[in-house]
Amino acid sequence: MNFDISHHPAKISVIEELKGRSGWLILRRLVIDSFDREEYLLFSGFDDNGRLLDQETCEKLFNCQGTVSICDEMPSPVKDRLNIEAERHGKATISRSLEENNRHFSEARERLEKWADDMVLAAEKELKDTKERIKALTRQARLATTTEEQHKIQEQIRDLEKKKRRQRQSIFDIEDEIVGKRDALIEALERRMAQKTTTEELFTIRWTVA
């Protein structure tokens, strides 16, 4: 593949540095199947002096006009090195993907822990406030001077006792919800850890920049 940088309308510095040089490159498609499906097009290449081309440089080569010509068969050492570089690129991409997944999991776990703490603290505060109100009314009942006043206070205490039981049950419900969310988070992590990868070679070319 002969790439023409000389007549390209825009300046591409990294490609202009390759002018007059030749080499080889390979393009592979990497698919990572875990919790999400990720797909990457990975270039690996080098010039005839062994200088590596990074992903961006390879991509920008294909921004240039090019013509196809027949080239000699790829030497075995070149093929071996291309495969080594492509394997290294693929492994590095998989590693970055796993690190990114771990980061997302850590952030999700921290958000869940904060939400859980806030929910439990809020529910416990409501229960504590109700208990304090019951104590205050109980003291007030002991000082009541009429049967009517005593009856009114006891009705309030009865209603607050019902409320207290509901609030206790609410705390249990919140804790059950937290357990459920934690289980879902762990399940998502396990799916991410059980990732499968497939690699497909799309093409290998001999390149020249003029």
Domain span at residue 95? 2-102+198-209
At 184 the pLDDT is 87
34 and 89 part of one domain:
yes
Give the range among 25-39, 132-146, 183-197 with minimum mean pLDDT.
Answer: 183-197
Count, residues in the chain: 210
Question: Are 96 and 35 found together in one domain?
Answer: yes
Q: Does the predicted model carry a pTM greater than 0.75? A: no
30 with 51, same domain?
Answer: yes
Domain count, the chain: 2
Task: For residue range 149-171, list pLDDT tens digits in order.
Answer: 999 999 999 999 999 999 999 99
- Is pLDDT at 204 greater than 90 in this prediction? yes
Tell me, yes or no, whether 45 and 9 share the same domain.
Answer: yes
Of 53 and 144, which is predicted with more confidence? 53
Mean pLDDT within 29-51: 91
In this structure, the answer to whether residues 31 and 59 fall within a common structural domain is: yes
